[in-house]
Amino acid sequence: MTPTKRLIGLLVCALILGGGAGFVCAWTLGFSAFTSYSYALNKAGPLPRAAPDASFVDQFGKERPLASLRGRYVLMHVFYGTCLTVCPIVIEQLREIYSDFSAEQRRKLIILSISIDSVRDTTERLADLWHEEGAFEGWIMAQPADASTDRMAREFGIWIFPKADGTINHSADLFLIDPGGRIVRVFSPEAKSDRIRHDLEKYL
């Protein structure tokens, strides 16, 4: 092998390594998002950021803009009623946290559970679920208005993947929106109830 050929070979190798590393860096948003969930979240932008201008229909069939909840902290997440995996765990976790708060703290906080299954989670079904979970006044169970699930999910940074078997894989993050309508905190699904409660108490 001549020195020229060796040099060209090394240059090509360096080019491939550099180009490949650059591509993976861009693909993972600077090596920070390796899963679809983290990619969607990071792509939506850094915190704090304005909450999307979305509307939802609550468990009583009333359409409301997200902006109508301003003035109180909102802990938002998405779920679907027939989920057998992460959703029941998150809802139970939220019920525990909310039950433990004082009346004063509850006045400052709304829990907003938005269903991503507009077919099966009808208003009646959401109302039933709301009763099952304790019918707390400050807990809203809703679905996005005018089929805006995709836009809402993209703007919040939520990944939703409906599977062929009818289940829906989705991000299980909890988004804390401040009284001014900005997303100020995202709790990951691994966060324990005690940790979430402790951190929420700082705001309430």
Partner 1 sequence: MAVPVLLLLPRIDTTFSATMPRKALAEPLLLLFLGWVLSRLVPWWRTASYAPSAAAAATLLFLFWMIPRSIDLTQIYPDANVLYVFSLFGVGFLLSHYLSLLPGLARVVFALYFSSMIVAFGLLYASQSTLLCSAFTLEEQHAFGWMTVFLGIIGYLTILASMTRWLNSPASRPRSQDLPR
159 contributes a contact to partner 1 by CB under 8 A: yes
16 binds partner 1 (CB under 8 A): yes
Amino acid at 25: C
CB of 17 to partner 1, least distance (A): 5
- Which single residue is written with the structure tokens 């009818």? 166
The 3-state secondary structure of 7-62, one letter per residue: HHHHHHHHHHHHHHHHHHHHHCCCCCCCCHHHHHHHHCCCCCEECCCCEEECCCCC
Closest by Cα among 144, 148, 163 to 82: 163
Size of the site for partner 1 (CB under 8 A): 31
Residues contacting residue 184 through CB under 8 Å, at least 6 positions apart: 47, 48, 176, 177, 178, 203
Classify residue 180 by its DSSP letter: T
The piece of 11-19, 55-63, 131-139, 144-152 that touches partner 1 (CB under 8 A) is 11-19
Which of 35, 82, 99, 118 is in the footprint of partner 1 by CB under 8 A? 35
SS3 call for 133: coil
Contact pick of 25, 26, 27, 180 for partner 1 (by CB under 8 A): 27
Residue 37 interacts with partner 1 (CB under 8 A): yes or no: yes
Q: Does 34 sit near partner 1 (CB under 8 A)? A: yes
The residue from 92, 161, 179, 198 that contacts partner 1 (CB under 8 A) is 161
Enumerate binding residues for partner 1 (CB under 8 A): 1, 5-6, 8-10, 12-13, 16-17, 20-21, 23-24, 27-28, 33-37, 39, 85, 159, 161, 163, 169-170, 188-190
